Structure 1
Amino acid sequence: MDITGIAKLSTSIAETGNAQEIGLAMLKKSQDIAASTATQLLDAVQAAPSVQNLPAHLGNTINTKA
């Protein structure tokens, strides 16, 4: 193996390592964003009022002859 082959191999290994590190950092960032979004959605669901806009007489009787 000559010097240029060793240099190319070394450069290739370094670039692969950098690409993997960047990909891992992007994955972690996207997971953080997803977790933040999920937390916001859960907070919004829990904070929603449970007041219904239905008249008070609805749901008091069951029609068994229908």
Structure 2
Amino acid sequence: MPIIVDIDVMLARRKMSVGALSELVGVTPANLAVLKNGRAKAVRFTTLEALCVALDCQPGDLLRWEAESG
């Protein structure tokens, strides 16, 4: 998948747990794990906004495009 989700990077930078982030964003830890592991097919803008507020970052800090090799 060419879209890479860097939530784990931002969590490490902020020294925050997945559980704490899920509470701040209002998303279950299971759904956050799906997004964090790149298995999500979509993300709502309201969820993306809540992630950015909770992690004090921009959407580009959480999502990036990477060309597929091969």
Normalised-by-shorter TM-score class = under 0.3
The one of the two structures with greater contact order (alpha-carbon pairs below 8 A, sep at least 6) is 2
Larger radius of gyration: 1
Q: Which has the higher helix share?
A: 1
Normalising by structure 1, what TM-score?
0.21
